[in-house]
Amino acid sequence: MKKSVRSIDDPEPKVPRADRPPSEGFVVVVDGHFKSEFETAEAARSAGRKLKSTYRMLKIEIYDAATRVRTLLVSET
């Protein structure tokens, strides 16, 4: 089977890099690894809380790309 050849005019596919922090938005960080990206902090916190309620042993943080600050998400017991 033949592979398709990309043209120079084709835009680069946007693939998020796991080793670089994102430049905008909010990200759920699970045990030190960037996972899901969100546009709002509340959406990221909601996803983080859902994960934390299912898997209490995880260390979940919310990363703010604008300020480059990580905030630890504490479980509500």
pLDDT at 54: 93
pLDDT at 23: 82
Task: For residue range 15-71, list pLDDT tens digits in order.
Answer: 666 667 788 899 999 999 998 899 999 999 999 999 999 999 999 999 999 999 999
Interacting residues of 46 by C-beta distance below 8 A, sequence separation 6+: none
Interacting residues of 76 by C-beta distance below 8 A, sequence separation 6+: 49
Q: What angle do CA 45, 42, 73 make, to 5 degrees?
A: 25
Task: For residue range 3-15, list pLDDT tens digits in order.
Answer: 666 666 656 656 6
Alpha helices in 8-77 (DSSP H): 41-54
pLDDT at 8: 62
Query: Given a cut of 60, is residue 77 above it in pLDDT?
Result: no
Residue 62: closest CA among 75, 53, 38: 38
